[in-house]
Amino acid sequence: MTFSANPWVHDTARIAAIRQELPDVWTYDIELVDRTRHENYRFRPGQFNMLYLPGVGESAISISADPDSRGPVAHTVRRAGNVTQALGRLEPGDTLGLRGPFGTGWPLEQAVGRNVVLVAGGIGLAPLRPAICQLLAQREQLQSLTLLVGARSPDLLLFGAELEPWRRAGLDIELTVDRAAADWRGQVGVVTLLLDRLELIDPAATLLLTCGPEVMMRYTVQSALRRGIPPGNLWLSTERNMQCAIGLCGHCQLGPVFICREGPVFDWPRIAPWLFVEGL
Ligand SMILES: Cc1cc2nc3c(=O)[nH]c(=O)nc-3n(C[C@H](O)[C@H](O)[C@H](O)COP(=O)(O)OP(=O)(O)OC[C@H]3O[C@@H](n4cnc5c(N)ncnc54)[C@H](O)[C@@H]3O)c2cc1C
């Protein structure tokens, strides 16, 4: 990690480029203004930064960049409330504050020799993108690598232009949408149906990483367990309201777990007693 000595202190960062991905989703390529700090900036796939707009507030945003790229660091953002709307009014060259990276990453060291299945719903593909880049870089060490993606409709598939290059690099991709257009050749239905039907050569040697709406992850876990994937091989990225990002304020607490510090990526046995429990 490349924290400032004090994790409350922001680095000043500059927006290098902005790309519209979907009607309400933009990717911001951000670089630290201090060149030395930018060059030393490292993160693990699955980690997040706190993006700060003075006078507006701060939001947790996952890093969607390739970890091996030394260029600007991509963050893919859906416009939701105060901070993300205000971010939408910024332009390349504008500055903002950045703290991070924070949190745990995907357990990619466990991928070697295994069948790896990634299950993404909607913008949940953003925190998985750095993992996809790293897994493709070590593709020959994996048994298989499959991405199952669900979106509401074909025009709302995130990173659509990257799917073909990823396929060519060795990622098997299956897509499904809730509502299909006339020219749609993929599946129709929820993403967990893709998992139900996926041919699993060796469930015990399968590692599954998932990120998306909680209801999607709940059905993904159920399907994976039914298919015989061991509970400890299931990894989920969770979201809660975050303020300090360093396990002090308690806003993201789930039972005894601080999502910001112990997560956001958890293995299923660790988070199962608390996630999907009403009232928590
Ligand atoms: C670890 C982690 C990683 C994350 N990664 C990403 C990511 O990569 N990309 C991303 O887009 N998000 C991500 N999020 C979610 C993001 O942090 C939240 O959406 C965040 O709250 C956005 O900040 P905001 O100030 O724009 O929204 P907030 O003002 O906090 O609003 C959040 C929610 O409240 C609703 N809301 C806000 N204002 C109103 C209003 N006036 N009336 C009705 N409803 C309202 C919004 O619709 C939204 O659903 C992540 C969260 C976590 C914890």
CATH number of the domain residue 183 falls in = 3.40.50.80
In a domain, 265, yes or no: no
Which residues, at least 6 apart from 75, have a Cβ–Cβ distance to it below 8 Å?
27, 28, 30, 49, 51, 61, 62, 63, 64, 65
If asked whether residues 139 and 29 sit together in one domain, one would say no
Nearest CA to ligand 1 atom 42: 81
Can you give the pTM of this predicted structure?
A: 0.94
The count of residues in the chain is 280
Give the binding-site residues of ligand 1, using a 6 Å CB cut-off. 48, 57, 59-62, 76-78, 80-84, 123, 126-127, 239-240, 242, 264
What's the structural domain count of the chain?
A: 2
Give a yes or no: residue 16 inside a domain: yes
Q: Is 242 within the bounds of a domain?
A: no
pLDDT score, position 104: 95
Domain end point (choices 237, 254, 271): 237
Position 111 pLDDT exceeds 60: yes
77 belongs to a structural domain? yes
Domain assignment of residue 41, given as a range: 11-102
Claim to verify: residue 88 and residue 191 sit in the same structural domain: no
User: Probe ligand 1: pick from 27, 62, 211, 237, max atoms within 8 Å of CB?
Assistant: 62
Residues 129 and 226 in one domain: yes
| Residue 257 within a domain | no
172 and 114 in a common domain: yes
Whether 116 and 70 share a structural domain? no
The protein residue whose alpha carbon is closest to atom 20 in ligand 1 is 59
On whether residue 271 sits in a domain, the answer given is no
Residue where the block lists tokens 């893709």? 194
* pLDDT at residue 133, as a whole number: 98
Query: Are residues 113 and 223 located together in one domain of the fold?
Result: yes
Question: 237: CA distance to ligand 1 center in Å?
Answer: 15
Specify whether 35 is located in the same domain as 20.
yes
Give the pLDDT of residue 1. 45
- Whether residues 87 and 132 share a domain: the answer is no
Lowest average pLDDT, out of 1-15, 198-212, 249-263, 264-278, goes to 1-15
Are residues 141 and 83 both part of a single domain? no
Contacts of 133 (CB under 8 A, 6+ apart): 45, 66, 67, 68
Q: Within a domain: residue 191?
A: yes
What integer pLDDT is reported at residue 244 of this predicted model? 87
Euclidean distance between CA atoms 109 and 56, whole angstroms: 38
Domain end: 50, 78, 102, which one? 102
Measured in Å, residue 81 CA sits from the centre of ligand 1 at 6
Say if residue 72 is in the same domain as residue 158. no
